[in-house]
Structure 1
């Protein structure tokens, strides 16, 4: 079942974030040590008022296990939500990068989507995305956007198959991505979340 994330989900969610981000997670942690990288994301998932906060996450929960998650927030809030994370990674971990703006005002931005490899192929990613469309509509957003790494054809196919269209290309910390958007209809939401 899909539900809003809880504080207690932080350890499982941090593993899914690192899985989705790949090498980018290590860049933020300024480390290749998996424990340090996981600790960084668990710290921020557990807090409020940042881009990785449990407040911005929906999870797929099956038999009390977080099998997948999706993080999304108002693109107009990017600077405010990113600030605590960047301040911490710079002052405590030595991160020196300057991430480009990955979203903008007018877009409900999918920052991260991940499904545990043991649960892939069951349609969880599609269901999480569709639940996010409903959440975006409930919050009054008309556009959902995201970045897909160039070369990740499987992910690009998933999103375009759900109705996302290519809007351009963006660079983020040395990686090149497709910028995709989905127009949220103003129909009543199909999946009501608590």
Structure 2
């Protein structure tokens, strides 16, 4: 079942965010320490008004309400607003002074930020269900496009998104990595 995330989902969702982000998560936490990185994303998941907040998250939960997958998504026009608290925290607590990453999205797009499924249940269609739910959520908010970034060397994810109807529209550099910017046109 897919549902809106709750603050109490933090312990399950924070590792999923890190899994989706890979090395980017450690660049943002400015440490290779997994526990410190986990603590950072756990903290922000529980907080309002940031891109990793429970407010911007859908989860896939099994019949026991165990979270097995998550997707963070938000209006691209709100990226800078949603980033502000996060970047201020990174500056104060993680030593990332004057850190201003490139925008990964923009106005006119509902941005699918992190999509992740627990390794134990990958390949069972949960990721596809989360993407479908996020596209439906975008349509309910009157968005006509859903966008995401996928690493240029992540062929498995690229194929998944292409099979879901996403098209590569350009390439982006983001915090030192190269990404395909993909968009899904939502029919209204």
Aligned to 1:190: none
Q: What residue ranges of structure 2 are gaps of 5+ in the alignment?
A: none
Aligned to 2:94: 93
Distance in 2, matches of 1:139 and 1:102, equals: 20
Per-residue CA deviation, residues 43-86 of structure 1 (Å, 9 max, x unaligned), is 00001000000000000001221100001000000000001001
Aligned to 1:162: 164
Q: What does residue range 106-121 of structure 1 map to in structure 2 within 5 Å? A: 106-121=108-123
Q: What residue ranges of structure 1 are gaps of 5+ in the alignment?
A: 187-194
Q: TM-score, length-normalised on structure 1?
A: 0.94
Distance in 2, matches of 1:176 and 1:55, equals: 28
Shift of 1:98: 2.3
Distance in 2, matches of 1:90 and 1:28, equals: 10
Aligned to 2:186: 184
Distance in 2, matches of 1:48 and 1:156, equals: 31
Shift of 1:95: 1.7
Distance in 1, matches of 2:56 and 2:179, equals: 22
| 3-state SS in 2 of match to 1:76 | helix
Aligned to 1:44: 44
| 3-state SS in 2 of match to 1:78 | helix
Aligned to 2:8: 8
Distance in 2, matches of 1:176 and 1:149, equals: 6
1:99–1:172 CA contact under 8 A, matched in 2: yes
CA RMSD for the aligned pairs? 0.7
Aligned to 2:56: 56
| 3-state SS in 1 of match to 2:78 | helix
Q: TM-score, length-normalised on structure 2?
A: 0.97
Per-residue CA deviation, residues 13-56 of structure 1 (Å, 9 max, x unaligned), is 10000111111111111111111000000000001000000000
**Deviation above 6 Å: which 4+ runs of structure 1?**
none
Aligned to 1:189: none
**Does residue 76 of the first structure (1) align with residue 71 of the second (2)?**
no
1:98–1:173 CA contact under 8 A, matched in 2: no
